[in-house]
Amino acid sequence: MDKLLTVTVDGEVLKFPFVWLRDNCLCEQCFHPTAKSRVYWSDLHLKIKPKEITEGKDSIQVTWEDGHKSNFEYNWLKIRNFTPESQRKYDEVIYKPTKITWHGEEFNDICSKHDYNQIVKTDEALYNWLYKLSVYGVAIVKNTPNSENAIDAIIDRVAFIKRSHYGVKFVVQHISNTNNLAYLSNNLQMHTDLPYYEYGPGINILHCFVQTVSKGGENLLVDGHYIAKYIKKNHPEEYKLLTEVDIEWNDMGTEDGREFFKLYRAPIITLDKYGEVQRINFSVPQRSSHFLTPIENIEPWYRAYSLFLQLCHKFAGKFKSEQGDILVFDNIRLIHSRNGYVDNENNVRKLIGAYIDWDEIYCKLRCLTMKLGYNKGFN
C-alpha cells in the first residue's frame, strides 16, 4: 500500500503508483509542453516515495525524496484512474469506438448516408461519417459532384490516400486484357482488397462515377466480425482452422509498366492477443496455390473455408450504388463482392477508387472528439 498515492476526487477514492506518478511528472524538465512528450527517462527509482504531499484546491503537489516537485491536477488524475470501468470509458470515448456487428438483413438500418458537401464543410458531419464507419464498418456518402477527382476533397478532410501498386487512385472499369479480375464486368467474387499486403489498407473508397443501367453491378457486403462470432460459437473446429492456418495471398502482374509480385501469409481470420478479430483476409481470386501447411490440414481447411464462403453470402447485405454515391467501408472487416454487369456503347460502368488507413481515420476522430467537445472530460 505504501507504493500508492491515495486521493479523493469528487467523492471517489483513486489510487496511483508512485513510480507511475514520478514517470509522468508534467514539469517542463520532465515533459516537453509543446511536443507533449516525455523527456525525462533516466534514473527512475522503482521504489521512489514522496517526501511530502500537499493537497491544493485543483491539484496535488508531490515533493519527491530528492526534492523534485510534481504537480497533478485532480481531473488529469481522474481520467487516468486505474479501475477497469474508468479504463473502459477511456477506450470508448478516446481510443476507438466499440464496433457493433450486423447481419445482412440489418444492412439498410446500419448503413448510414452522409452528404458530401456537409462533410466538406462541417466538422460535425465529418465526425458523424467517420464515427459510423468505425462502428459499423460501412457508411455511404451521397451527392458527390460528378468529377473524377471528387473523392480528393473528402479524403483531404480526413488525411491522405494510401497508395498501392494500382496507383494513388484506381479506376474500376471493364478492360479485357486486365491485370486484375475487378477490372472485368464479370461477377467479382468475395474478397477483401489487397490481402497480399502486410500493411493492408484499412478503408476502401469507391466513388460511383457511372453505374450500369444493365442488371447487375450491385455489391454484396458482409460483416466478417459477425461471421467470425458465428463460426466461433457454432463451429469451433472450423474456427481454429480459419484462425490458425496461414494462407498465402498473392498478386502478380504489371501496372503502368512496373512489375509487381506481392505475397503475404495470414489466416483468413487474424486474432489479436486478446483473441479478438484483428483483420479479415479473404479473396477467392488472390489466394495462392502454394499452401504451406501439413498435408493433413488441407481437407479440413477446405471444409472450413467453404463454410466461411457460404456464410459470406448468407449474411451479406446488398447495395447498388448510384451515380454520386461513395461506398466507404472497412476493408479489414467487411468482405465484398460485385455482381456481373453488361456495358454498352452509351453506358460504361466506372468507379474511382482509393484507400485510407485506419490510423488516419482514428486520428481524425480523436482530433474531432477534442475539437467538438465530445471528449466527456477526457482533456
Residue 212 binding partner per list ligand OGA, Zn ion, none, with a CB distance cut-off of 5 to 8 Å that depends on partner kind: none
Strands 37-38 and 170-172: unpaired
Residue 188 CB, shortest distance to ligand OGA, in Å, is 6
Residue 360 CB, shortest distance to ligand OGA, in Å, is 20
The answer to the question of residue 283 lying near ligand OGA (CB under 6 A) is: no
- DSSP state, residue 27: S
Q: Can you name the residues that pair with 259 across neighbouring β-strands?
A: 254
Secondary structure of 91-134 in HEC code, one letter for each residue: HHHHHCCCCCCCCHHHHHHHCEEEEHHHHHHCHHHHHHHHHHHH
Residue 219 binding partner per list Zn ion, ligand OGA, none, with a CB distance cut-off of 5 to 8 Å that depends on partner kind: ligand OGA
The answer to the question of residue 222 lying near ligand OGA (CB under 6 A) is: no
Task: Choose between 219 and 369: whose C-beta lies nearer to ligand OGA.
Answer: 219
Residue 30 binding partner per list ligand OGA, Zn ion, none, with a CB distance cut-off of 5 to 8 Å that depends on partner kind: Zn ion
Residue 338 binding partner per list Zn ion, ligand OGA, none, with a CB distance cut-off of 5 to 8 Å that depends on partner kind: ligand OGA
Rounded CA gap, 227 and 268, in Å? 11
Give the residue at shortest CB distance from ligand OGA: 182
Residue 172 binding partner per list ligand OGA, Zn ion, none, with a CB distance cut-off of 5 to 8 Å that depends on partner kind: ligand OGA
Applying CB under 5 A, which residues contact Zn ion? 25, 27, 29-30, 193
The answer to the question of residue 336 lying near ligand OGA (CB under 6 A) is: yes
Distance spanning both ends of the chain, measured CA to CA:
29
Q: For residues 201 and 183, is the Cβ–Cβ distance under 8 A? A: no
Rounded CA gap, 170 and 124, in Å? 29
Residue 130 binding partner per list ligand OGA, Zn ion, none, with a CB distance cut-off of 5 to 8 Å that depends on partner kind: none
Query: Which run of H or of E encompasses 370?
Result: helix 358-371
Task: Choose between 63 and 297: whose C-beta lies nearer to Zn ion.
Answer: 63
Q: For residues 137 and 172, is the Cβ–Cβ distance under 8 A? A: no
Task: Choose between 199 and 274: whose C-beta lies nearer to ligand OGA.
Answer: 199
Distance of alpha carbon 222 from the chain centroid: 16
Size of the site for ligand OGA (CB under 6 A): 10
Rounded CA gap, 109 and 179, in Å? 36
Among 232, 287, 338, 350, binds ligand OGA (CB under 6 A): 338
Residues that bind ligand OGA (CB under 6 A): 172, 182, 188, 193, 206, 219, 336, 338, 351, 353
